């Protein structure tokens, strides 16, 4: 899939820069040519000699290389590639990209190009979660930058959380997915997945049993058909798929905001199990027993109706797919939901405890559309996702 593809690899400065060496090797094994660009900070972690040896290419470092610039080398570099990959993309590099700065070779290349750009962020968890980084991320996503990761895990600084560079095989999968030629190539599809957690106090929350497995499988199936997927996920048990733009959220209100930011899209598949209510009087401190034996009183407020907002909004996708998890009268409830929300399709399933579907590996769904009702057999969630993705591709063709 990567044979004869030209990859311009920009290596940012961070402890994860050493993984760029493996990425170069794996890309070349798959037939791609790699032209590396090192930031000054990256040179503190990997040497130009090692990068040059693995890439079998000159390493570009300085914007003001007179030989290259006499031929407008930075313009040629920025536009000769089939894909520009930034790995690792540090918080600083992302900030400069978002602001349109061009104060070194890397940022000048990124500003002077019309080639697709993919970034793999890597940084300390606090830096990743900082509002400034999240604002920059939203700007980059809005500019059409493809984003891979980051992952959650232990970091070199000793902290744990999101911010680790995505593993090299997953970055490769994302690059290969970008070049995939499928029926959904050129289409942008939004997928929501997982539960939402609504806080009661800093240590307790209201949740549901959704694992996120079905939404994850749908995102992967759409990616495999060539779609550009934005994957908005609550705190799911299963990790997000590689090769999609991942937006992690916790609450329903955060998911509603992320969905609006991700629009416009050609289709939206709203597979998340969003909490209908939140605790209106959530405590800022841990609730304690007072010795009286009385339980605290929780007041509830309605959460945003994300499916109805997308279905009825100004940026409505051409196809909106909702989900209905029911425990009784499945078809009747789901049919009414489709009418009430204004979506095109409803994927309904019976999640009563005896079915083992919520949180399990299989699903048995009924697809309700304007044309009628389709009963699907019980299948693995992966196979269910593939059937749904194929039907979406057929509809959008």
Q: In angstroms, what CA-CA distances link 15 with 62, 65, 174, 235, 320?
A: 21, 27, 22, 27, 42
Is 343 assigned a catalytic role? no
Q: Which of 175, 167, 125 minimizes the C-alpha distance to 146?
A: 175
286 among annotated binding-site residues: yes
Pairing state of beta strands 362-363 and 372-375?
unpaired
Q: Which of 258, 252, 225, 255 minimizes the C-alpha distance to 241?
A: 225
Q: Are 23 and 9 in contact (CB under 8 A)?
A: yes
Which sign, positive or negative, has the C-alpha torsion 19, 20, 24, 30? positive
Q: Report the greatest alpha carbon distance in the chain.
A: 82
Token digits of residue 316: 């409505």
Q: In angstroms, what CA-CA distances link 207 with 153, 198, 276, 278, 352?
A: 23, 7, 10, 10, 17
289 among annotated binding-site residues: no
231 among annotated binding-site residues: no
Cα–Cα distance between 186 and 86 in angstroms, integer?
Answer: 21
5 among annotated binding-site residues: no
Per-residue exposure over 271-295, b if at least 16 CB sit within 10 Å of its own CB, e if not: bbbbbeebbeebbeeeeeeeeeeee
Token digits of residue 303: 């959460």
**SS3 for 383?**
helix
225 among annotated binding-site residues: no
Selected catalytic residue, list 157, 203, 336, 373: 157
Sequence-separated contacts (24+) of 104-108 with Cβ below 8 Å: 104/39, 104/40, 104/63, 105/37, 105/39, 105/60, 105/61, 105/62, 105/63, 105/74, 106/10, 106/12, 106/37, 106/39, 108/63, 108/74, 108/78
323 among annotated binding-site residues: yes
257 among annotated binding-site residues: no
* Residues tagged active-site: 157
The annotation places the binding site for CTP at 276, 286, 304-307, 323, 337, 341
């Amino acid at each position: 899939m990567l044979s004869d593809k030209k990859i311009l690899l920009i290596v940012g400065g961070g402890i994860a820069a050493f993984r760029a060496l493996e990425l170069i090797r794996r890309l070349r094994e798959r037939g791609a040519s790699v032209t590396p660009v090192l930031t000054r900070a990256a040179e503190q972690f990997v040497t130009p000699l090692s990068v040059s040896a693995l890439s079998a290419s000159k390493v570009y470092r300085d914007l003001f290389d007179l030989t290259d610039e006499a031929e407008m080398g930075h313009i040629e570099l920025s536009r000769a590639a089939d894909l520009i990959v930034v790995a690792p993309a540090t918080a600083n590099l992302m900030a400069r990209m978002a602001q349109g700065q061009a104060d070194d070779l890397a940022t000048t290349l990124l500003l002077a190009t019309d080639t697709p750009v993919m970034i793999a962020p890597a940084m300390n968890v606090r830096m990743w979660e900082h509002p400034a980084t999240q604002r920059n991320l939203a700007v980059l996503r809005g500019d059409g930058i493809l984003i891979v990761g980051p992952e959650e895990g232990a970091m070199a600084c000793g902290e744990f959380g999101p911010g680790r560079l995505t593993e090299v095989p997953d970055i490769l999968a994302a690059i290969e997915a970008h070049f995939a030629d499928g029926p959904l190539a050129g289409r942008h599809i939004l997928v929501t997945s997982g539960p939402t957690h609504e806080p009661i106090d800093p240590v307790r929350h209201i949740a549901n049993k959704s694992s996120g497995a079905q939404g994850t499988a749908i995102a992967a199936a759409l990616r495999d058909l060539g779609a550009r997927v934005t994957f908005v996920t609550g705190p799911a048990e299963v990790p997000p798929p590689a090769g999609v733009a991942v937006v992690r959220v916790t609450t329903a209100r955060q998911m509603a905001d992320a969905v609006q930011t991700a629009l416009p899209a050609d289709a939206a598949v709203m597979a998340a199990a969003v909490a209908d209510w939140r605790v209106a009087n959530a405590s800022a401190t841990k609730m304690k027993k007072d010795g009286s034996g009385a339980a605290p009183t929780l007041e509830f407020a309605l959460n945003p109706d994300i499916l109805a907002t997308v279905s009825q909004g100004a940026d409505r996708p051409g196809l909106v797919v909702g989900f209905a998890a029911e425990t009784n009268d499945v078809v009747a409830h789901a049919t009414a939901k489709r009418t009430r929300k204004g979506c095109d399709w409803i994927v309904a399933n019976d999640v009563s405890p005896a079915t083992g579907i919520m949180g399990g590996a299989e699903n048995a769904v009924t697809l309700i559309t304007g044309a009628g009702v389709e009963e699907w057999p019980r299948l693995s969630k992966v196979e269910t996702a593939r059937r749904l993705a194929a039907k979406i591709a057929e509809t959008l063709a």
